[in-house]
Chain A
């Protein structure tokens, strides 16, 4: 039975000669279900399917206040949906008010929206969490009927998603009967997403739309071979430009912002026909991004160089080609990116993959095979992290007093927290209230206090400001704005990491927003630059998110290596693999290849574990810990999806002790105690949980900086004086499943057993070469530090003629 739609809506469809898709009908029919999940490919009319029941409900104009909340992971998506929804609503003549609310919305508008909300409000997880933190949240959300979570696949396994679902648990309590709708791109395991979306233990109906025709996808063939190493894909620029000319609009995806910047720069230099081409990524200033988005909507651009910031379903209209530069790392994301082309149902998407270097030729070939086999990567089970829970408790406290039992019951309705033990909840509540220390230090200054009636409330109501300023689960490195000098108040060009800025010297040049700029100086935490069109840039090191290559892709690659020859690979890559086999050997699935060689005054060890970036990173920590104990003076390492490169002062003779399972757990514990990855994880969790503030009331940071100290000190202090503290448990759990990925290490060690092949060489091998250009090097704070420092002191003092006073 199809639910009858109001004539205004059916008439509008008919006047366009459109019919309603079967899955849109299905969503309408089942609109009263407590929870629905729609899986549809990009361009499948997902958004309309989500909103049709709302439009039908609101058509008679009787509903007062907020009816439907729409949440998307991207601000841009909220703005885009507003545009795409307001048009049809106006044309249908429906009495519906639609507004968006994101970090970019003015505070005046935000205040008004809380008092007088529109019928449909479009927002992001962070803005929603903020709204939930207000004392008047129960009024704002009273009468809320539906919540639509768009692109839920992008949120499902992230802390942003966890925070969103905790906010939803609050909304379901404020507005009983609230129905949930999730819209997702194609995923391997829809049930896993349904579990996270539904109010536990409500059922969730899963609707899968027709996946549409197979994509038309191939590797871009170029005259010049890809370089031996590097990630930019610069070599392919003539071929990419040729493709841009042949299509109406091309999206050119990159895996990192730095690569997008570089590629865009070189594309412009080669763009002799002056084709209109733009760039879009998350580190660009909002004004810059909006300009590009508008130009795209107006159809004024032939191509956009972009990153994950355009991954999700923004409707850019007439895209007829998607180019992916660099290996896609996981098949799901590749499929979703491909879906950006021909954003229309039932038309095949056209896509080209450009391997950035020769190793990526292999990765891309494996990914193409997987796409053709329609084999996506599986999801892992997700349990809600406790740092996000701690933040949620503070958000709840900001909204008003609460009973612990009520909040615990509410939190357990979020799928990811359905099995949360009471003990864990109590520890988080204690942490939020008192800091949770073994030493009861803050009895007088507790953040939350329990009233005589048993309800918890903030001791100092002014703390709400601090809590609200620190909402959010994305923890970035400290960023600094970049502006042109002498344009006080002028448009910012974008942001760079503070660490990157601190390394700049006057006269250094770097790329931002597709332009080369010259560093002039720093003024009140703003990086000032000037224009310099003709210099060669120093690469910006800011990076986009990195993903680990999926197990499936790694296995496919190792399988390919077993072949005697690779007639399907381009000749250059084929020769490269043969060369590697000649000078060293190729990695195999049930063996471990270890190479060692001197290079540039240091000793190097490479272990080809193919365990994915995070696990290879952990391997770097484990191995360097063991090398430190063996007296090899390791100095640092860098990891990619397939290998770990460690450098140090002394050569490796026998790699077997490095990979023994003996003492593995003890070694883990030893490095858990003191290493950069744990400290980085601790910092992120400490910020999310509210142990330290990301932002402080009163605006600007002190320029003096003596006042701030490193979170490493807090981590070390806790380990020494309060080793059972909940923040250390959270850090350990986060690290094990996130950056540590210990499961994949163990799987690899099991796989290889004692089959380790050590090849000692006199120089860098073909397969190792790309590792030297990887960013994200992790230094090791070991004995090499002191030795180098002493050498440096001696050198400098000798140079200054002061050797006699140095110790």
Chain B
């Protein structure tokens, strides 16, 4: 498997090509921002009727990653559902698939801003999940140490011999990891956006997803809009 290993707070973590984070020592797999039920929610709110296949696609990816890593613990890092009603409204075929993934594993639903309450799908619901030396929560907190979070859907923009390439990525510095969104219908926020950039130190790296994830310095995202002088 083309996972990218990296050291973080003395632990060895692996970023999988799909964007899942594998922590082999305690047999833990972590995925952020699944946004299950997104198409249903948009249609319910009178928005566009998108192809209703993203839950199936996302669970298919998750099934593959679980088969590869056989985790004892799976952490869904918040925004696992596009909203609380979407969690209730999942098709039976999808809840069945989810149940078979959960069977025999410890399953943690970390709360997110889209899914701030408990769901009746089994597993445990937590505002955050601690497994020393790491802490898993949905939105990064200032000053946190050893924190794994999601929420921002980071994306890299890289200039290669005159072409611009855009891919999902994780952002890593000495204190935190911000994971890419795992769900099929998720957009991204470029790493050089101030919301994201102010969270990490200047020597942070991007772990860019692809057939083999690749590590690049964050500062190398060479196309960057000038930031507002007033915002600093």
Contacts and interface: CB of A to CB of B under 8 A. Distances in A.
Among B47, B49, B163, max chain A CB count under 10 A is at B49
Nearest to B33: A706
A797 B4 CA distance: 15
A442 B189 CA distance: 29
Given A441-B40, A706-B152, A792-B160, A693 B214 contact: no
Interface stretch (B20-28, B52-60, B67-75, B100-108): B52-60
Contacts of A505: 223-226
B57 A720 contact: yes
Contacts of A636: 163
Contacts of B164: 503
Contacts of B56: 721
B188 A706 contact: yes
Interface string B202-232: 0000001011101111001001111111000
Interface in A470-514: 501-506
A805 B207 CA distance: 12
A722 B53 contact: yes
B187 A709 contact: yes
Given A445-B40, A692-B48, A786 B227 contact: no
A708 B187 contact: yes
Interface stretch (A200-208, A327-335, A380-388, A518-526): A518-526
Given A796-B220, A807-B4, A693 B48 contact: yes
A788 interface: yes
B173 to A, nearest CB: 14
B124 interface: no
Interface in A23-46: none
A390 B43 CA distance: 17
A710 B187 contact: yes
A397 to B, nearest CB: 13
A706 B187 contact: yes
A115 interface: no
A506 B215 contact: no
Interface stretch (B115-123, B130-138, B140-148, B178-186): B178-186
B127 to A, nearest CB: 21
Given A439-B52, A503-B223, A779-B163, A806 B40 contact: no
Contacts of B225: 501-502, 504-505, 521-522
Among A444, A717, A785, max chain B CB count under 10 A is at A717
A717 B44 contact: no
B46 interface: yes
A790 interface: yes
B18 interface: no
A437 B226 contact: no
A749 interface: no
A697 B189 CA distance: 22
A718 interface: yes
Given A503-B223, A504-B225, A800 B184 contact: no
Given A520-B226, A521-B226, A636-B163, A786 B210 contact: yes
B184 A434 contact: no
Given A505-B226, A706-B187, A789-B208, A720 B53 contact: yes
A87 interface: no
A400 to B, nearest CB: 18
A391 B50 CA distance: 16
Contact of A437 (B51, B217, B228): B51
Given A441-B40, A502-B225, A807-B215, A435 B46 contact: no
B176 interface: no
Nearest to B193: A705
Contacts of B161: 601-602, 635, 788
A759 B16 CA distance: 46
6 contacts: A435-B43, A442-B49, A460-B46, A522-B225, A705-B188, A706-B187
Interface of B: 4-6, 39-40, 43-44, 46-54, 56-57, 91, 152-153, 157-158, 160-161, 163-165, 181, 184-189, 193, 195, 208, 210-212, 214-217, 220, 223-229
Enumerate the 5 nearest inter-chain pairs by beta-carbon distance, A residue then B residue, closest first: A506-B226, A441-B52, A435-B49, A709-B187, A721-B53
Given A520-B226, A692-B48, 13 more contacts: A441-B39, A441-B52, A444-B44, A445-B49, A505-B226, A602-B161, A693-B48, A704-B195, A710-B187, A721-B51, A721-B56, A789-B210, A796-B220
